[in-house]
Chain A
Amino acid sequence: MPDIQPTTDKARPKSSLKAWFHPRGRSISTIAFALNRLTAIGLTLYLFLHLVVLSQLLRGPEGWNSFVSIAKSPIFLTLDVILLFGVVYHMFNGIRVALVGMGVANQRQKGLFYGLVGIALILFVVGAVLIYTK
């Protein structure tokens, strides 16, 4: 089978990020795909941020207590809510992608999207309320 070579034709549009997030004419499945990528990038960045936050423990009880007071501020809670959205969306859409990718229910992928992301949104709303009220 042949190796595919890149085209050297300058008239081929080069638009990596635009191709992923260009919404015009796209279906719900592409919006699901684009959101999955965005949340994946967000969660990866969060992982590093989380490690930075945990490193405050090295500064002893005073450093940690000062961080906890910041963590209870409304701006930080809003960031927590955004994080929660990323977690539940990526997790439930990930289940859909895994099921479809194994050839299971691939003809019902839109129904899976609405069902699983619906559950994710319910969990998100409940979680957001708890974050702001507890």
Chain B
Amino acid sequence: MAEQIIEFKVQRYKQGQPAPTYQTFKTLCDDNTTVLVALQDIRRDQDGSLVLRHSCHHASCGTCGMRVNGKEELGCVVKVLDLGTSTVTVEPMRNMPIISDLVVNMEPFYDRYNAVGMPYVRQSEYLDEADLAEGLEAYQRYENCIECNLCVSGCPIMGSDELYLGPATLAAARRVIEEPRGVPTKPLLDWVDSENGCWRCHVAYECNTACPSEVYPGDQIMALRRDLTKRKFRGLFGRGGKG
């Protein structure tokens, strides 16, 4: 198994500091060492004040979002040696207030995202040929979005306009509109049909690139635009108003 000493250039920031700084650490990595594990090693062996956030270690919880060599990634699934660089730069996600080091304040994200009211589960589309187990009406699975915030970090518009609803929220809104399950969709369509809603997107598609969970927020935003354009045309011909 290949082993290599890798240099980690980690962005450090503590509340009250005028600006973030970078600190360099060296740690031994093998084929299986992920960025998250390397950072945990650094925290355990070299600097206990390094603050990072994680939970599941397998890309399900979405809590270890960070930038690795400039790209939005879940640190738990990026293998250090696969990056092919002797120095790995690790920074917190963009466009959110930093709490400490690699941890950002997710409150602005949840203020928007939770307002949509997207259910956490959906009917599974993968097991349609399987026999249903006794007592089940349908197989269910979790919605794709793991609320990691990587799309928000990648979005260049979020960097310049913090009032923009953002890709994750708009994608969640699109899911509810696509499958309302009895929820009236008109208030949601009105909410996203605004200067800070889906029309604020400038089609950079960084959200699609950053998303680790096949939500493709950029595509969902464009689908919202299509829905709204149809609604406006229907309104012109007196067939609007259906929510």
Taking Cβ atoms with an 8 Å cutoff, the residues of A that contact B are 1-2, 4, 6-7, 9-13, 15-20, 22, 24-27, 29-30, 32-34, 36-37, 97, 100-103, 106-107, 109-110
**A13: B residues at CB distance < 8 A:** 94-95, 159
Chain B 211-240 interface mask (CB, 8 Å, partner A; 1/0): 000001011001101100100000000000
Knowing that A11-B98, A97-B202 are A-B contacts, what are 6 other residue pairs whose CB atoms are under 8 Å apart, sorted by A's residue number? A7-B162, A26-B70, A26-B206, A102-B222, A103-B222, A106-B222
User: Does the CB pair A29–B206 fall under 8 Å?
Assistant: yes
CA A33 to CA B207, docked complex, whole Å: 13
User: Does the CB pair B70–A27 fall under 8 Å?
Assistant: no
| Given known A-B contacts A11-B13, A25-B70, A101-B222, A18 and B159 have beta carbons under 8 A apart | yes
**B165: A residues at CB distance < 8 A:** 4
User: Does the CB pair B72–A101 fall under 8 Å?
Assistant: no
CA A52 to CA B150, docked complex, whole Å: 46
Q: Please classify how large the interface on chain B is, using the bins under 10, 10 to 19, 20 to 34, 35 or more.
A: 35 or more
B148: shortest Cβ distance to chain A, in Å?
A: 16
**B119: A residues at CB distance < 8 A:** none
User: Does the CB pair A29–B15 fall under 8 Å?
Assistant: no
CA A27 to CA B188, docked complex, whole Å: 30
User: Does the CB pair A29–B115 fall under 8 Å?
Assistant: no
B243 at the interface (CB under 8 A from A): no
CA A2 to CA B71, docked complex, whole Å: 31
Chain B 102-131 interface mask (CB, 8 Å, partner A; 1/0): 000100100110010000000000000000
| Given known A-B contacts A13-B94, A19-B156, A103 and B223 have beta carbons under 8 A apart | yes
B12 at the interface (CB under 8 A from A): no
CA A86 to CA B95, docked complex, whole Å: 30
**B105: A residues at CB distance < 8 A:** 9, 11
Candidate in A6, A15, A103, A109 with the most chain B CB atoms within 10 angstroms: A103
**A34: B residues at CB distance < 8 A:** 156
B67: shortest Cβ distance to chain A, in Å?
A: 6
Q: Supply 26 A–B pairs (Cβ within 8 Å), ascending by A.
A: A1-B187, A4-B108, A4-B163, A6-B163, A7-B108, A11-B99, A12-B162, A13-B94, A15-B160, A16-B160, A19-B94, A19-B158, A20-B156, A27-B209, A29-B203, A30-B156, A100-B222, A102-B222, A102-B226, A102-B229, A103-B223, A106-B218, A106-B222, A107-B219, A109-B203, A109-B218
**B222: A residues at CB distance < 8 A:** 100-103, 106
**A100: B residues at CB distance < 8 A:** 203, 222
B205 at the interface (CB under 8 A from A): yes
**B108: A residues at CB distance < 8 A:** 4, 7
